[in-house]
Amino acid sequence: MELNLDDVKPCVSGPKRPHDRVEVAKMQEDFRTCLTSPVGFKGFNIPQDKLDAKATFTYEDKEYTIQHGSVVISAITSCTNTSNPNVMLQAGLIAKNAIDKGLTTLPYIKKSLSPGSGVVTKYLELSGLNVFLD
């Protein structure tokens, strides 16, 4: 068996339906299609004249604007039964590298790390990666 890594495409999916994956390169197109598709699976039926709608709000005395596609919640969870140390440690390393490069999140974004067990918490603490995920 051979695998040509040039044929491998980064994708996102799930958590509910991991088989409904979308190539990262096509995410924006897929998202925009979902906005105007009929209500149902991946459809929100937003009228064309409302696609560019924005909402402004104040958080901690600063004004922010959000629109369709704005990130307002970011969560990482692991299950007690299927906790995969490699994946959780990779998430911690990605977070560390992002912070080391100066990447930050907007203060109004709700951030949540929900380890599935005390063991997950412990190996994140022992590796020192928990602070980057926090």
Mean pLDDT of 79-100: 82
102: which DSSP letter? T
Question: What is the β-pairing status of strands 62-67 and 54-59?
Answer: antiparallel
Mean pLDDT of 35-52: 92
Question: Is 70 exceeded by the pLDDT of residue 14?
Answer: no
CB 115, CB 79: distance < 8 Å: no
CB 67, CB 55: distance < 8 Å: yes
Tell me the C-alpha distance between 6 and 34, whole Å: 29
Confidence of residue 58 (pLDDT cuts 50, 70, 90): very high
Confidence of residue 57 (pLDDT cuts 50, 70, 90): very high
Tell me the C-alpha distance between 23 and 9, whole Å: 6
pTM (global) more than 0.75: no
> In the chain, where are the structural domains located?
1-51, 52-134
Tell me the C-alpha distance between 81 and 66, whole Å: 37
Report the pLDDT value the prediction gives residue 24, as an integer from 0 to 100: 92
Which CATH code, of 3.30.499.10, 3.30.300.250, 3.30.360.10, 3.30.70.1450, is assigned to 52-134?
3.30.499.10
Mean pLDDT of 7-24: 82
